[in-house]
Structure 1
């Protein structure tokens, strides 16, 4: 199936639903930018949302960085937002761990930015830990994997910050947290419990942070199994953009289907 054979949303009744959306929760990688390149239609979409009296925020599953890094990246691209509009999977799992594992120690397989988020949250980190947290670790080493696998084999629970298999970058994809979790499962036989999109924990976090009713919110992204699946079976709308990971073949074969499909944010903006 060719790219231009994708059936984009054109039905008038369906498009009318878009006008009821007050909050667009936007994915980042593959949706508003690719790598360090901002898509040319992104700023126009944001301005269109403002013109129509709506609002937006960003949510990323990418746990290799923290909120401050994403705010700086957006600012360098000319998008200036307050911190409360930058939502991240790190915060979802931290909030859950503070409630369900108070006072316990953690072994974090993650970047320095993720480990710093845990430190700031007051969660002790050590090798002989009570549980393991796996993030999108762009600093992954064999030694880290060995420690994590030993802990899991000893019966310690393992939590994944996000389930994404790949992270889109300019020129292709790189392995993400979900792929690293698959390696650990192959060694230990234990599957991570994932947070981030599409976890219900994440949808609850989005709604609580924005103060929106489910029917007033739309999640916009390029991945069926995260961005679209997080809204499945709820009153939250899902909008797939074909500017990132999803191909027409993937869309046609997926059990998870979006409420709306557009080529990119530029085409979506034209329908608002």
Structure 2
């Protein structure tokens, strides 16, 4: 019973329901993961919410009344539910500035299609331990900084800067101008032990099911593969990310 109450409190902190509550959070400037509105209900206050959310670049998702009823904790959602972030996001420039402040080459993790909050939380935890300067996720097709991510990260969410961007490819193009090279985690011939991961580096990790999307992969400079010797041909996304991050650590700090 206590566990259920604790889970409910966590959800309440990150889920806002009702028109006035959602309007207020939009005005506050707090980071919002997405706003779900009832299909066909775009009149009055809901119309204002959709317009303000679109202006701020917040993801808007139309769902059925049944879906809202299932998600609702107050049972009075009034046709709209907002999921807010458990922690504020940063800008990509803030991540680069963090690297400059330490006098280090940028070390950034880009996540393409990670939808499991436990994977994201685990990646944030490893990234913080490995000394990465930040993590970049897309606005769509990705889990955001929700309560589960915060809990799984074991506190790393407080220390690891996360930027949320509209387009990963454009972000990569901008970062290339800052001198970054991009390594795509993928099954291929380039064993990560033999891949040069020194210097300004961005590690691109895809989802477990689909891997890195085609356009993002095409904009990577090379692939970094993890050798497999068993009968299973792939690793959990957070485990693969951890192995590649610590190969960067090894090459930066322990190889001649």
TM-score (norm. length: structure 2): 0.28
Q: Which structure has more RCO (C-alpha within 8 Å, separation ≥ 6)?
A: 1
TM-score (norm. length: structure 1): 0.26
